Amino acid sequence: MTKIISSNLGYPRIGEKREWKQALEQYWDHSISEKELLDKTKKLRLENLKKQQDLGIDLIPVGDFSLYDHVLDTSVMFGVIPNRFDYHGGKVSLDTYFAMARGVKHAVASEMTKWFNTNYHYIVPELESIKPTVTENLPLTYYKEAKQELGIDGKPVILGPITYLKLSKGYEEKDFGHLLHAFLPLYIQVFKELEEAGVTWVQLDEPIFGTNLSEEILANTRQAYEAIQDEVPNLNIIIQTYFESVVQYKEVVDLPVKGIGLDFVHGESLSLIQEYGFPKDKVLAAGVINGRNVWRADLENNLQLLADIKQTVESDRLIVQPSSSLLHVPVTKEQEEDLDVTIKGGLSFADEKLVEVVTLTEGLKNGKQSVNEELQKSKQELERLRNSTLRTNKEVKANIENLNEDDIKRSVPFNQRIKKQQEHFHLPLLPTTTIGSLPQTTEVKKTRTAWRKKQITTNEYEQFVRDYIKKWIGIQEELGLDVLVHGEPERADMVEYFGEKLNGFTVTKYGWVQSYGSRCVKPPLIVGDVYFDQPMTVKEAVYAQSLTDKPVKGMLTGPTTIYNWSFVHNDVPRKTVLNQIGLALRKEIEALEENWIKIIQVDEPALREGLPLDRNKWQDYLEDAVYAFKLATASVKDDTQIHTHMCYSDFQDIFDTIDALDADVISIETSRSHGELISTFEENTYNKEIGLGVYDIHSPRIPSKEEIKQNINRALKTISSKQFWINPDCGLKTRKEEETIEALKTMVEAAREIREELLTYQK
Ligand SMILES: CN1c2c(nc(N)[nH]c2=O)NC[C@@H]1CNc1ccc(C(=O)N[C@@H](CCC(=O)N[C@@H](CCC(=O)N[C@@H](CCC(=O)O)C(=O)O)C(=O)O)C(=O)O)cc1
Ligand SMILES: N[C@@H](CCS)C(=O)O
Ligand SMILES: [Zn+2]
**pLDDT digit string (tens) for 206-258?**
999 999 999 999 999 999 999 999 999 999 999 999 999 999 999 999 999 99
Model confidence pLDDT, tens digit, residues 566-593 = 999 988 999 999 999 999 999 999 999 9
437 is annotated as contributing to ligand binding:
yes
Nearest residue to 410 (alpha-carbon basis) of 629, 597, 587, 658? 629
How far does residue 32's CA lie from ligand 1's centre (Å)?
Answer: 22
CA nearest ligand 1 atom 28, residue: 492
In a domain, 246, yes or no: no
How far does residue 557's CA lie from ligand 3's centre (Å)?
Answer: 10
Q: Which residues, in sequence order, are bridge partners of residue 169?
A: 126
For the segment 61-69, the average pLDDT, to the nearest whole number, is 98
In a domain, 73, yes or no: no
318-322 vs 689-692, strand pairing mode: unpaired
The CATH number given to whatever domain includes residue 549 is 3.20.20.210
How far does residue 697's CA lie from ligand 3's centre (Å)?
Answer: 9
**Res. 154: pLDDT tops 80:** yes
CA separation for the pair 274, 278 (Å, rounded): 8
Percentages (nearest 5) of helix, strand, coil residues in the chain = 50, 15, 40
Predicted local confidence at residue 189, as pLDDT: 98
In degrees, rounded to 5, the angle at the alpha carbon of residue 667 between the alpha carbons of residues 662 and 673 is: 125
Instruction: Please state the φ and ψ torsions of residue 318, each to the nearest 5 degrees.
Output: -115, 135
Burial class (CB in 10 A: 0-12, 13-18, 19+), 454: exposed
For the segment 717-729, the average pLDDT, to the nearest whole number, is 95
H helices of 311-403, in order, are 341-345, 350-366, 372-386, 394-401
Secondary structure of residue 73 in the 3-state scheme: helix
ipTM: 0.97
CA separation for the pair 59, 46 (Å, rounded): 15
How far does residue 646's CA lie from ligand 2's centre (Å)?
Answer: 9
How far does residue 295's CA lie from ligand 3's centre (Å)?
Answer: 28
In a domain, 573, yes or no: yes
Nearest residue to 322 (alpha-carbon basis) of 121, 60, 66, 118? 60
Q: Tell me, what amino acid is at 553?
A: K
Give the model's confidence band at 673: pLDDT under 50 very low, under 70 low, under 90 confident, else very high. low
**Res. 501: pLDDT tops 60:** yes
CA separation for the pair 325, 32 (Å, rounded): 30
91 is annotated as contributing to ligand binding:
no
CA separation for the pair 502, 625 (Å, rounded): 19
Between the CA of residue 122 and those of 68, 112, 417, 637, 700, what are the distances in Å?
A: 9, 5, 40, 40, 18
How far does residue 1's CA lie from ligand 3's centre (Å)?
Answer: 53
CA nearest ligand 1 atom 15, residue: 515
18 is annotated as contributing to ligand binding:
yes
- Answer whether 259's CB lies under 8 Å from 284's CB: yes
Give the model's confidence band at 493: pLDDT under 50 very low, under 70 low, under 90 confident, else very high. very high
Between the CA of residue 412 and those of 142, 402, 422, 600, 635, what are the distances in Å?
A: 61, 23, 15, 18, 11
Ligand 1 pocket test, pick from 455, 513, 521 with the greatest ligand atom count within 8 Å of Cβ, gives: 521
- Answer whether 131's CB lies under 8 Å from 89's CB: no
Range of the domain at 433: 394-762
In a domain, 598, yes or no: yes
In a domain, 583, yes or no: yes
CB atoms near residue 602 (< 10 Å): 24
In a domain, 409, yes or no: yes
Closest ligand by atom to 729 CA: 3
For the segment 523-544, the average pLDDT, to the nearest whole number, is 97
End-to-end CA distance of the chain: 87
Active site residue 698: yes
Model confidence pLDDT, tens digit, residues 11-48 = 999 999 999 999 999 999 999 999 999 999 999 999 99
**Res. 678: pLDDT tops 80:** no
Secondary structure of residue 692 in the 3-state scheme: strand
In degrees, rounded to 5, the angle at the alpha carbon of residue 256 between the alpha carbons of residues 193 and 204 is: 50
Give the model's confidence band at 612: pLDDT under 50 very low, under 70 low, under 90 confident, else very high. very high
**Res. 674: pLDDT tops 70:** no
CA separation for the pair 77, 133 (Å, rounded): 8
158 is annotated as contributing to ligand binding:
no
Predicted local confidence at residue 762, as pLDDT: 73
114 is annotated as contributing to ligand binding:
yes
Ligand 1 pocket test, pick from 31, 449, 514, 649 with the greatest ligand atom count within 8 Å of Cβ, gives: 449
For the segment 379-394, the average pLDDT, to the nearest whole number, is 94
For the segment 357-376, the average pLDDT, to the nearest whole number, is 97
CA separation for the pair 615, 326 (Å, rounded): 25
- Answer whether 354's CB lies under 8 Å from 57's CB: yes
- Answer whether 680's CB lies under 8 Å from 655's CB: yes
How far does residue 625's CA lie from ligand 2's centre (Å)?
Answer: 18
Ligand 2 pocket test, pick from 555, 561, 602 with the greatest ligand atom count within 8 Å of Cβ, gives: 555
Nearest residue to 39 (alpha-carbon basis) of 52, 54, 20? 20
CA nearest ligand 2 atom 4, residue: 731
Indicate the average pLDDT of the chain: 96
CA nearest ligand 1 atom 40, residue: 442
Give the model's confidence band at 315: pLDDT under 50 very low, under 70 low, under 90 confident, else very high. confident
In a domain, 645, yes or no: yes
Predicted local confidence at residue 672, as pLDDT: 62
Protein residues whose CB sits closer than 6 Å to any atom of ligand 1: 119, 440, 442, 445-446, 448-449, 492-495, 515-516, 519-522, 565, 605, 647, 730-731, 733-734
- Answer whether 690's CB lies under 8 Å from 666's CB: yes
CA separation for the pair 210, 196 (Å, rounded): 32
21 is annotated as contributing to ligand binding:
yes
Dump the DSSP string for 625-661: HHHHHHHHHTTS-TTSEEEEEE--S--GGGHHHHHHT
519 is annotated as contributing to ligand binding:
yes
Give the model's confidence band at 761: pLDDT under 50 very low, under 70 low, under 90 confident, else very high. confident
- Answer whether 697's CB lies under 8 Å from 677's CB: no
Predicted local confidence at residue 292, as pLDDT: 98
CA separation for the pair 361, 2 (Å, rounded): 10
CA nearest ligand 2 atom 6, residue: 731
Question: Can you give the pTM of this predicted structure?
Answer: 0.95
Predicted local confidence at residue 324, as pLDDT: 98
Give the model's confidence band at 681: pLDDT under 50 very low, under 70 low, under 90 confident, else very high. confident
H helices of 392-512, in order, are 394-401, 414-425, 442-452, 458-479, 496-501
Closest ligand by atom to 698 CA: 1
CA nearest ligand 2 atom 7, residue: 731
Q: For helices 350-366 and 299-310, what crossing angle results, to 10°? A: 50
Q: What's the total number of domains in the chain?
A: 1
Predicted local confidence at residue 1, as pLDDT: 39
For the segment 599-607, the average pLDDT, to the nearest whole number, is 97
Q: Compute, in degrees rounded to 10, the torsion defined by CA atoms 247, 251, 257, 259.
A: 40
In a domain, 367, yes or no: no
Torsion-angle region of residue 730: left (phi > 0), alpha (psi -120 to 50) or beta?
Answer: beta
CA separation for the pair 199, 242 (Å, rounded): 23
Atom index in ligand 2 nearest the CA of residue 555 equals: 1
201-205 vs 283-289, strand pairing mode: unpaired
Atom index in ligand 2 nearest the CA of residue 646 equals: 5
- Answer whether 200's CB lies under 8 Å from 223's CB: no
Protein residues whose CB sits closer than 6 Å to any atom of ligand 2: 435-437, 494, 555, 603, 605, 645, 647, 730-731, 733
Query: Cα–chain-centroid distance for residue 689?
Result: 27
